[in-house]
Amino acid sequence: MTESPQWWADGVGYQVYVPSFQDSNGDGWGDLPGVTSRLGYLSNLGVTIVWLSPIHPSPFADRGYDVSDYRAVNPRFGTLHGPGDAAQRGR
């Protein structure tokens, strides 16, 4: 598949609010493995662009948008290896 230089212009986007999207380990919080497990579903809906809500450590006073460390992933959502794996699976 050849990507257009303006892939975003023709793409169908979907923002995933990770904490409530899909819980893969039964702790009541959505997580990156849960997002990864639903990429096929999103693709079947025609989604070509997935935008994740913040997955960084946060005190959650503002639903996770009050990020306390932009260089880390909140352990509640997975590990630093999770987002890269999800990105590779989404290709």
pLDDT in tens, 35-53: 999 999 999 999 999 999 9
Q: State the pLDDT at residue 17.
A: 95
Q: How far apart are CA 91 and CA 14, in angstroms?
A: 15
Does the pTM of the predicted model rise above 0.75? yes
| Residue 85: both structure tokens together | 């794996």
